[in-house]
Chains A and B, each alone.
Chain A
């Protein structure tokens, strides 16, 4: 109740607040959808989100795979390396990235020493992406591991004994079986990244803000609840649509695995 009521109120406000006609119109939505600044921000948000999701996947997949083959003790260490940052305050981690990325921070000093010249990542979209990958990595590793650990590795051995090269066996047997995990992890990372506020607020700048920062600005600085609410509702709809899409995409895979009947 405490959760549904505020959301309902906000969506009502998105039609009635901050509009010319007091009886409820689509003003806030037309404002948002026709404003070129807002469109640039949406495109930027989606682009960064896609890149971050892809990078997380590239980093997490081999890691999660490794977790399924190492000894239990080694696995505990690998889990700890992921879980400790996961439960560390987000603000603490972002502050750490501010130190690392700043002009005279360790990243620049190191690059300078090896003669790469200096890069200034603080306040850029690239900086935001780097920090986001770090923050979101656990959300990719954990569902991937949960999925990969259930794959029967004897299927790979069977394929190899039937004459398939290891790389072929991996691509034709293991990879398709890992699709549900990949989809689960990617969906979580994508949804979180779309709604990220503090990461772009810390590591980006006002010139390259993302959609969440726009929502917060509209509401807490301009008190334009109608506009903020309209953007929030669109963000929520997009999130739900993505969740639905991911569930729909993973269904044929699950059915092929013979788990369709259970659900």
Chain B
């Protein structure tokens, strides 16, 4: 009996500890929400009064709007390219049973392992000579490369549960490779592809280290604008921008959760 009492007590200690860890993970970020409604131009906390002026600033100031639009455009195009290339790579990896598959997989996932600063220096060095810094193409190419691994991993995971005999069946019925992909493979791995695209977009949208090298006065992304605002001035426009981003992230996660739910349901029906 003494044993169970002790186990119960250590269990509740564990539970309290975990709640504290969870709060430590969750709470600090949320501080930007009350901060963004502050009425004064300082980081005084709690704010002395409330207003929505920083949201007006964020949505009307051309610098902020330009940075946000750049981020959305770069993220959209980079996510599209990374999804197409990554999906093709993932399918190629599944189909080839050759010796170099491991090497190819390592190579594809390499951008995830190499420290971003290292990648950033290399990309900057080459892009300076190609005159791609501060250009839309430069950002898109760099972000696409960084986002491909997550697409390969996500699509690869949904290909694991994909029955390759379906492709054989489709081919034997006379469908070409492209038609097979469009009518058989793609619909079945679509949740994985969409999740990969969403991840790719988030990675591009959030990427800041390589972007820092590529950014300049004529072109910068939202994270870089945030970085520069925090280092130069302390006004709560950053808090408004952060709150908007926080809301978008929550939304993206809900969509992602729904996609996973749909996939699990589809698998349960098999």
Is A197 in contact with B117, judged by CB distance below 8 angstroms?
yes
Q: Mark A78-122, 1 if CB is under 8 A from B, else 0.
A: 100111110111111111111110101110010000000000000
Is B119 in contact with A87, judged by CB distance below 8 angstroms?
no
Is B117 in contact with A91, judged by CB distance below 8 angstroms?
no
Is B253 in contact with A90, judged by CB distance below 8 angstroms?
no
Q: Mark A183-210, 1 if CB is under 8 A from B, else 0.
A: 0000000010011011001100000000
Is A239 part of the contact surface with B, judged by Cβ < 8 Å? yes
- In the complex, which residues of chain B have a beta carbon less than 8 angstroms from the beta carbon of A229? 121-122, 125
Question: In which size bucket is the chain A interface?
Answer: 35 or more
- In the complex, which residues of chain B have a beta carbon less than 8 angstroms from the beta carbon of A236? 114-115, 118
Is B212 in contact with A92, judged by CB distance below 8 angstroms?
no
**A99-B35, A191-B113, A228-B121 known; A6+B126 contact, CB < 8 A:** yes
CB-CB nearest in chain A for B242: A92
**A105-B45, A134-B24, A243-B113 known; A88+B14 contact, CB < 8 A:** no
In the complex, the number of residue pairs spanning A and B with C-beta atoms less than 8 Å apart equals 193
Stretch in contact with the other chain, from A31-39, A214-222, A253-261: A214-222
**How far is it, in angstroms, between the C-alpha of A92 and the C-alpha of B127 when the chains are bound?**
28
**A191-B113, A219-B124 known; A3+B119 contact, CB < 8 A:** yes
Task: State the main secondary structure of chain B at its contact with A.
Answer: helix
Shortest 9 CB-CB contacts between residues of A and residues of B: A195-B115, A6-B122, A10-B122, A81-B22, A92-B242, A6-B126, A232-B118, A7-B122, A66-B18
Can you give 17 A-B contacts (C-beta < 8 A)? Answer: A3-B111, A6-B119, A66-B15, A89-B223, A90-B223, A92-B226, A95-B230, A97-B28, A104-B45, A105-B43, A191-B113, A197-B117, A197-B212, A212-B115, A216-B117, A235-B115, A239-B113
Give chain B's interface residues, CB within 8 Å of chain A. 3, 7, 14-15, 17-18, 21-26, 28-32, 35, 43-46, 107, 110-111, 113-127, 141, 144-145, 202, 205-206, 208-209, 212-213, 223, 226-227, 230-231, 238-239, 242, 245-246, 249-250, 252-253
Give chain A's interface residues, CB within 8 Å of chain B. 2-7, 9-10, 13, 59-60, 62-63, 65-66, 78, 81-85, 87-100, 102, 104-106, 109, 134, 137-138, 166, 191, 194-195, 197-198, 201-202, 212, 215-216, 219-220, 225, 228-229, 232-233, 235-236, 239-240, 243
Known: A95-B238, A99-B31, A137-B25. 20 other contacts (CB 8 A): A2-B141, A7-B119, A10-B125, A59-B24, A66-B14, A90-B223, A91-B227, A99-B45, A100-B28, A104-B44, A105-B43, A137-B24, A138-B25, A195-B115, A195-B116, A215-B118, A216-B120, A219-B121, A232-B115, A235-B115
